[in-house]
Amino acid sequence: ELEVEELCFRLKEQLMDTPNVKALKAPVTVVGDIHGQFYDLVELFRVSGTCPDTNYLFLGDYVDRGIHSVQVISLLVCLCVRYPNRITLLRGNHETRQITQVYGFYAECVRKYGDARVWTAFTDLFDFLCVSAVIEDTVFCVHAGLSPSVLTVEQIAVLDRFHEIPSDGALADLVWSDPDQQREGFNQSNRGAGYTFGEDIVERFLQVNGLQHVLRAHQLCMEGYQVMFSDRLSTVWSAPNYCYRCGNMASVLE
């Protein structure tokens, strides 16, 4: 427990001055949801390259659902502390206190450590994670999607991220929203948080910000990835056989 608390404290110190929108250079390997599938994460590093030999951007959702969330987030935090210029972790909708109490991470921490101290250390750390990144001034990376409250990247840059994700507002939308190929504009999401957004929204966001592509995770893709909106948006999913029963493939983007 003390070692985990020390690791989380060190990473929080590093992240304190990190902007909401982190600028990254290529080459970088982008990873989608992991959801506590530790051995799949190990295989991912074996296939795509170990850190620090390979630069990584993780798009969030490291915990819950799978049975090894503690191992997943512990390894990633260790790598971030050791190689801060080689690996970046964004915040997903599961990096919150409320969601982790429902979908398994809290129970796993209590089962493995006997109390909630480790869960508290990690969920306090989650408040410090960046919410987005831009690769080579062309690719906008976020866990889930866009927000009606955000038209420019500069608006994301001035958000106060150092707290629990609220139930609505820009931060919630960035970690909850989904693209919709059937409808334009922003519409209410059946997830109960965030919005769905159409191709017109993506096109406008890219044009206003001088970007070329939106890269996100958040949605299960049976082939491991999905490209939408005339190659303007991609979803990457990195948890194979999600929940040990979905039979899906996984991918990373290089």
- What residues act catalytically? 94
**In angstroms, rounded to a whole number, what is the distance separating the alpha carbons of residues 180 and 197?**
6
Phi/psi for 187 (5° steps) reads: -135, 160
What is the Cβ-side half-sphere exposure of residue 75, based on CA atoms within 13 angstroms?
Answer: 18
Q: Which residues are CB-contacts of 187 (< 8 A; sequence separation ≥ 6)? A: 180, 195, 196, 197, 198
**In angstroms, rounded to a whole number, what is the distance separating the alpha carbons of residues 44 and 212?**
27
Q: Which two tokens stand for residue 37?
A: 């599938």
Q: Do 129 and 20 touch, CB atoms closer than 8 A? A: no
The amino acid sitting at 11 is: L
**In angstroms, rounded to a whole number, what is the distance separating the alpha carbons of residues 16 and 215?**
25
Q: Which two tokens stand for residue 35?
A: 């959801």
The amino acid sitting at 92 is: G
Q: Where are the alpha helices (DSSP H) in the chain?
A: 2-15, 38-48, 69-82, 97-102, 105-113, 117-126, 153-157, 170-176, 199-209
**In angstroms, rounded to a whole number, what is the distance separating the alpha carbons of residues 184 and 239?**
29
The amino acid sitting at 122 is: F
Q: Do 11 and 85 touch, CB atoms closer than 8 A? A: no
